[in-house]
Amino acid sequence: MRSYASSTAIPKGYRGMGMNGALARWYAATTRKSLSEFERLARRVAGEISSGASVLEVAPGPGYFAIELAKLGDYHVTGLDISETFVEIARKNAARAGVKADFRHGNASRMPFGAEQFDYVVCRAAFKNFSEPLAALQEMYRVLKPGGLALIIDMRGDASVESMKQAAAELKTGALNRTFIYLTFRYMLVKRAYSRAEFDRMIGLTRFCPLDIREQLIGFEILLGKPRA
């Protein structure tokens, strides 16, 4: 069983290579082609919150989900990312879309926010990269208001080779990109991802209440709740 808390000597929030510079720009261009997925997720979250709600996206990357959510209503949307390049890209994307979303640079395991500040926290396709996953979970709990929800969407550590091939094949991008993404799934990301048992154990070390855990083709959707006082 792997250790969930890494050494405090690790200065950044990724276990592997941080997405900065050209790599971050390539990722932003590639994921933009799947914008409909971010739109669907934004509509889903909007259906679970009320007008004026405060929503935090942890590791928003280019900011596509946060921006789509901001388009849908009077929400206070914030994104926190370890990558300075992603923060810059997300801010430009928000300005181009004409929406108000606050993107900040920071670490998921040491968030620069006060306690009980957000109604909803989202972390999509990033949790496996955190160097201190348990600390990140605890921070999500800390910044949530009582009664708030946290949604984690990420890859499964037990994803099969065939499922990774299928997931890459379904992406709306060129053949070369699909091949590269499949190889990244198989030889990099799946090795960082967690199994259901590992997620259950981490959640059990927090005060979160697990509300729903759904397995998908190569990933999980994990919905957690913070009890009301």
Q: How many CB atoms lie within 10 A of CB 103?
A: 24
Task: Give Cα separations from 107 to 83, 114, 224 (angstroms).
Answer: 9, 14, 21
Q: What are the pLDDT digits (tens) for 164-220?
A: 898 888 887 788 888 888 888 887 889 999 999 999 999 999 999 999 999 999 999
- For residue 50, count other CB atoms closer than 10 A to its CB: 10
Amino acid identity for residue 161 in this structure: V
User: CA-CA distance, 192 to 70, in Å (whole number)?
Assistant: 31
Q: Using one digit for the tens of pLDDT, what is the confidence trace for 1-37?
A: 455 554 333 333 344 445 888 888 878 888 887 899 9
pLDDT confidence of residue 167: 83
Contact between residue 63 and residue 87 where contact means Cβ atoms under 8 Å apart: no
pLDDT greater at residue 177 or residue 225:
225
Phi, psi of 214 (to 5 degrees): -120, 135
Mean pLDDT of 133-143: 98
Domains defined for the chain, CATH in brackets? 21-156+193-225 (3.40.50.150)
Between CA 83 and CA 29 the distance in angstroms is 16
Order of all β-strands in the sheet with 54-58:
102-105, 76-81, 54-58, 118-124, 144-155, 219-225, 209-215
Cα separations in angstroms, 180 against 25, 32, 176:
15, 16, 6
